C-alpha cells in the first residue's frame, strides 16, 4: 500500500486567504488538528491548530501564520511504513500527499491509516492472539508458521516489536481460531516463551469493541 491509495476524499485544503477561524471549524468538523494549505494546485505547507491559537487572532488569513511544521508531506509513491514514521515523528493527524512537482494530490488522515492497518492486521477477523518473546537470533518464521499450521490453523498476521537496548523481540501472532490450546502446547514443547494469549470469543469482542470505539471517535 502506498500514499496515493490512502488519500481521503473528505478533507479539503485551505487557501492562504482563508481565516484561522475557518480552519479551526474544519478541524473540529473532521476531528483533526492539522490541515494542508495550497496556492492553486501548489502545496504550501501544513498548519496546526496550535499555530492558529498561538497567533491569537482567528480572523487573520492563514497566510499570515507562522507554520511550525513547514512543508511536511509525503510523495505519492511512498510506502505505508514510511507514512507511519512521518505520522509518528511529527505527531500528525493528517499527512498531505504531493507529486514530484510538489502539486497537492490530497491528504491521508490518521483515521484512514488506522482503518487500513486494522484490516491488514485482521483486527476485525475472529481468532486468537499469541504473544511470544525470544532473542532476535532465535526468530524462525518458517518454524513458527509450521507449528501453527500443523495444528490445523492459519497465521493471519504477525507483528514484531523490539525492546530498547535489548536483543529480545516480541511476536504478536493473529491466528484464525480461538481455541489455542494445541498450538500453545506445541510452542511449549519447542521451548518458546509465551507472554500472553487472547483466545476466547469474549477477548475478541472486547478487542473489536475497543477498535470500533476508536474508529467512531476518529469519525471514519
pLDDT score, position 164: 79
CA distances from 111 to 22, 25, 47, 61 (A): 22, 18, 18, 28
Answer whether residue 220 shows pLDDT above 50.
no
Residue 77 has pLDDT above 90, yes or no: yes
Of 23-37, 95-109, 110-124, 196-210, least confident by mean pLDDT is: 196-210
Q: Do domains 3-114 and 121-216 have the same CATH topology?
A: no
* Tally of CB atoms within 10 A around 50: 12
Q: Does domain 121-216 have CATH number 1.10.1200.10?
A: no
Q: Which CATH architecture has domain 3-114?
A: Roll (3.10)
Q: What pLDDT is recorded for position 209?
A: 57
Sign of CA dihedral 58, 61, 62, 64: negative
Cα 24 to Cα 27: distance, rounded to the nearest angstrom: 5
- CA pair distance 67, 50, nearest whole angstrom: 10
Tens of pLDDT along 202-215? 554 555 555 455 55
Model confidence band, residue 17 (pLDDT cutoffs 50, 70, 90): very high
Look at residues 24, 90, 96 and name the one whose alpha carbon lies nearest to residue 55. 24
The answer to whether 171 touches 158, Cβ cutoff 8 Å, is yes
d(CA 18, CA 179): 56
Q: Give residue limits of the domains in the chain.
A: 3-114, 121-216
pLDDT for 86: 94
Q: What is the pLDDT of residue 118?
A: 77
Amino acid at each position: 500500500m502506498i500514499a496515493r491509495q490512502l488519500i481521503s476524499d473528505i478533507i479539503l485544503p485551505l487557501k492562504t486567504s482563508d481565516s484561522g477561524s475557518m480552519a479551526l471549524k474544519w478541524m473540529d468538523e473532521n476531528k483533526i488538528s492539522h490541515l494542508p494549505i495550497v496556492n492553486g494546485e501548489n502545496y504550501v505547507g501544513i498548519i496546526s491548530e496550535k499555530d492558529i491559537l498561538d497567533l491569537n487572532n482567528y480572523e487573520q488569513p492563514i497566510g499570515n501564520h507562522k507554520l511550525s511544521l513547514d512543508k511536511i508531506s509525503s510523495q505519492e509513491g511512498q510506502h505505508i511504513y514510511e507514512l507511519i514514521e512521518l505520522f509518528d515523528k511529527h505527531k500528525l493527524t493528517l499527512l498531505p500527499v504531493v507529486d514530484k512537482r510538489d502539486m497537492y494530490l490530497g491528504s491521508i488522515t490518521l483515521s484512514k491509516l488506522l482503518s487500513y492497518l486494522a484490516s491488514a492486521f485482521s483486527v476485525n477477523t475472529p481468532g486468537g492472539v499469541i504473544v511470544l518473546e525470544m532473542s532476535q537470533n532465535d526468530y524462525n518464521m518458517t518454524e513458527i508458521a509450521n507449528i501453527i499450521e500443523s495444528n490445523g490453523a492459519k497465521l493471519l498476521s504477525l507483528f514484531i516489536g523490539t525492546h530498547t537496548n535489548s536483543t529480545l523481540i516480541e511476536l504478536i501472532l493473529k491466528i484464525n481460531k480461538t481455541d489455542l490450546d494445541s498450538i500453545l502446547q506445541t510452542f511449549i514443547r519447542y521451548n518458546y516463551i509465551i507472554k500472553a494469549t487472547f483466545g476466547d470469543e469474549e477477548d475478541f469482542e472486547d478487542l473489536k469493541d475497543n477498535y470500533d470505539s476508536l474508529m467512531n471517535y476518529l469519525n471514519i
